């Protein structure tokens, strides 16, 4: 490709809308342009990158036995009503109506559609297992789209759905997909981890998330540096503190704490560690019964965990607090409350405390030296309801946890029969009996992968694309194409040679100054470049430089192709 025939649109300055480096660079390099909130056009250069991600995904999916199909982006409401998700999915689903006033949505995912395909097409166990996949635009009306293509509303996703005659077959395919995902992200040159995950809204049992590690990641991951343990923070178990709860050693006392409504403030005011305080969260369960949660002052409630222990958990409003306990916002505590009306659920760490500090249910007063069993009854339930912190013991008992941040680029689930059952998919098994197939589903955020890769591979000059997703393999940068016949001939010859060798080359023949050409090539992240100048040509050499190297090397003109091929080979991540 000649740059003069291509469309490059780079910016010196990043538009103010971009916060993340990857977002800024994608805009500056002209990979994407924004149309509206969470909506992006993939410009020719960006589309090349996206297509290369797709190519790797397709290759590995098909190697793992999956079959590509393409389902409609627009889906009839009836399908979603069958699984009950028409209402459940909520605001995230973009609902649309056609000219006949019939309801549709722009598909946020495709379980319903694939089940519809399956129930029409699959009749016999002989057709199983099958794994269908597609690469296609999804739309989710995110509460807050941000970070460009990272959390966009419209995004490109590879989603696969497998059907099985039994659980063993599902597990086998799940393993295969796990391996395929590992191969895909490795080939894309990403530093990633597979993480045990919560199954979230989609439902089902076994599940792994694939995270690209990056400080800007939206997800927190807990792992143990001394063992293989790794998990999404939502799932990581916070072990109970070792040993028995210490015996009470202090008398109960009331302390005025005006204006000190947070645990941190109270602790600082009383000159005690926050770990000696307990915060109380009032709410209600699915039945509307009042529940008071107790957490150590430095701990945070884990929504997923509490949902399992107190189904339907919801935080109380100010009005509800006042109704149950009086106007004690900021000074709430578990002491002296009507336990017949309010159930107390304590986190393991909170339940282990002795001589702790908590609100007195009277403003502005806190209690100190509080002890379970003496000053208040034991909690009705002790459970793990908090997020783990760095330094907590690893759940596998082999050291301490550390926290990292990750960008979720892939997620695999064992759905079991949740959807196949709701959608009445069935086939005849070997005994001629109608059976509901086991299902798995496997997603990759294709457009997000591009952003994640840039997040992980950039420097002050711009993007440093891993070879597998770079828009071009190499760029040719002639010094004075229009002035020097020598340079022109050498450049055209090299361009022809490389193209003949099947290399994806970008010849930057634009009538720009050398500085512009060099800076643009670095910005857009092409992994290798040749600089062709009279100076070198007179010695019979070209300059060859990898995007991630500081220095160029001189290469005899005749060896240019071989040098590049060797470098491309070495950069091939398989």
Partner RNA sequence: CGGGGCGUAGCGCAGCCCGGUAGCGCGCCUGCUUUGGGAGCAGGAUGUCGGAGGUUCGAAUCCUCUCGCCCCGACCA
Please give the residue ranges that form the binding site for RNA (CB under 7 A): 10-17, 19, 34, 36-38, 143-147, 261-264, 279-282, 297, 300-301, 315-318, 320-321, 328-333, 359, 461-462, 479-480, 482-483, 513-516, 518-520, 522-523, 531-536, 543, 552
φ, ψ at 304 (rounded to 5°): -65, -45
Let me know: does 407 contact 150? Beta carbons within 8 Å.
yes
3-class secondary structure, 385: coil
Least distance (Å) from RNA to the CB of residue 496? 20
Minimum Å gap between C-beta 54 and RNA is 25
Q: In b/e form, how buried is each residue of 12-48, taking b as 16+ CB within 10 angstroms? A: eeeeeebebbbbbbbbbbbbbebeeebebebbebbeb
Q: How far is the CB of 32 from RNA (least distance, A)?
A: 12
**Cβ(248)–Cβ(218) under 8 Å?**
no
Give the span between the Cα atoms of 290 and 324, in whole angstroms: 8
Question: Which CB, 441 or 560, lies closer to RNA?
Answer: 560
- Beta carbons of 557 and 540 less than 8 angstroms apart: yes
What is the closest distance, in whole angstroms, from the C-beta atom of residue 276 to RNA in the complex? 14
Strands of 169-289, DSSP E: 192-196, 207-213, 219-223, 230-232, 253-256, 278-284
Which of 150, 180 has the CB closer to RNA?
A: 150
Least distance to RNA, CB of residue 324, Å: 9
Kindly state the smallest distance separating residue 159's Cβ from RNA, in Å. Answer: 25
Closest CA to 441 of 481, 401, 414: 414
Which residue, 160 or 292, is less far from RNA as judged by CB? 292
Half-sphere exposure (CA, 13 Å, Cβ side) for 374?
14
Using the minimum distance from each CB to RNA, give the nearer residue, 473 or 508: 508
Cβ proximity of 493 and 507 under 8 Å: no
CB 326, min distance to RNA, A: 11
Determine how β-strand 438-445 pairs with β-strand 278-284: unpaired
Residue with tokens 């060896």: 559
Between 121 and 323, CB nearer to RNA:
323
The dihedral formed by the CA atoms of 325, 329, 331 and 335, expressed in degrees to the nearest 10: 20
Nearer of residues 141 and 209 to RNA, judged by Cβ: 141
What is the closest distance, in whole angstroms, from the C-beta atom of residue 486 to RNA in the complex?
A: 10
The whole-angstrom distance between residue 38's C-alpha and the CA centroid of its chain comes to 16
Closer to RNA by CB, 145 or 445: give it: 145
Closer residue to RNA, CB minimum distance, 13 or 287? 13
């Amino acid at each position: 490709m000649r740059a003069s025939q291509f469309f490059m649109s780079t910016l010196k300055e990043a538009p103010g809308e971009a916060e993340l480096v990857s977002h800024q660079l994608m805009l500056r390099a002209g990979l994407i342009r924004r149309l509206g909130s969470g909506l992006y056009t993939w410009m020719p250069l960006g589309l090349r990158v996206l297509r290369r991600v797709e190519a790797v995904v397709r290759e590995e999916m098909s190697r793992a036995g999956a079959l590509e199909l393409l389902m409609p982006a627009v889906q009839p409401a009836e399908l979603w009503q069958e699984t009950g998700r028409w209402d459940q999915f909520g605001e995230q689903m973009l609902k649309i109506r056609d000219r006949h006033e019939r309801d549709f949505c722009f598909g946020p995912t495709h379980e319903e559609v694939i089940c519809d395909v399956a129930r029409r097409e699959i009749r016999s166990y002989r057709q199983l297992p099958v794994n269908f996949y597609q690469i296609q635009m999804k739309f989710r009306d995110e509460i807050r789209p941000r970070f460009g293509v990272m959390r966009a509303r419209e995004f490109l996703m590879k989603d696969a759905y497998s059907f099985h005659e039994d659980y063993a077959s599902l597990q086998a395919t799940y393993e295969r997909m796990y391996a395929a995902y590992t191969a895909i992200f490795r080939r894309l040159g990403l530093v990633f981890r597979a993480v045990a995950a919560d199954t979230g809204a989609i439902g089902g049992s076994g599940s792994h998330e694939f995270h690209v590690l990056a400080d800007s990641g939206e997800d927190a991951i807990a792992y143990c540096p001394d063992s293989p343990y790794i998990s999404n923070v939502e799932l990581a178990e916070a072990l109970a503190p070792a040993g028995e709860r210490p015996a009470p050693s202090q008398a109960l006392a009331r302390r005025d704490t005006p204006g000190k409504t947070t645990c941190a403030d109270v602790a600082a005011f009383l000159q005690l560690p926050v770990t000696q305080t307990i915060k109380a969260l009032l709410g209600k369960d699915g039945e509307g019964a009042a529940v008071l949660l107790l957490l150590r002052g430095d701990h945070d409630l884990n929504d997923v965990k509490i949902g399992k222990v107190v189904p339907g958990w919801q935080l109380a409003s100010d009005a509800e607090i006042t109704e149950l306990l009086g106007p004690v916002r900021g000074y709430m505590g578990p002491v002296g409350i009507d336990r017949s009306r309010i159930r107390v659920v304590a986190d393991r760490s909170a339940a282990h405390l002795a001589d702790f500090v908590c609100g007195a249910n009277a403003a502005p007063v806190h209690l100190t030296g509080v002890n379970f069993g003496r000053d208040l009854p034991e909690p009705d339930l002790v459970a793990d309801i908090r997020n783990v912190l760095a330094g907590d013991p690893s759940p596998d008992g082999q050291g301490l946890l550390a926290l990292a941040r990750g960008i979720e680029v892939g997620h695999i689930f064992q759905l079991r029969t949740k959807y196949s059952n709701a959608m009445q998919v069935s086939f005849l098994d070997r005994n001629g009996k109608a059976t509901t197939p086991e299902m798995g589903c496997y997603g990759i955020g294709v457009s997000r992968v591009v952003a994640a890769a840039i997040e992980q591979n950039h420097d002050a000059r711009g993007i440093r694309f891993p070879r597998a997703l770079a828009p071009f393999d190499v760029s040719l940068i002639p010094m004075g194409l229009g002035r020097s016949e020598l340079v022109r001939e050498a450049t055209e010859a090299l361009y022809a040679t490389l193209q003949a060798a099947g290399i994806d080359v970008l010849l930057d023949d634009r009538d720009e100054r050398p500085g512009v050409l060099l800076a643009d090539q670095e910005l857009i992240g092409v992994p290798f470049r040749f600089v062709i100048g009279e100076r070198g040509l007179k010695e019979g050499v070209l300059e060859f430089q990898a995007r991630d190297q500081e220095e160029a090397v001189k290469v005899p003109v005749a060896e240019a192709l071989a040098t590049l091929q060797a470098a491309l080979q070495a950069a091939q991540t398989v």
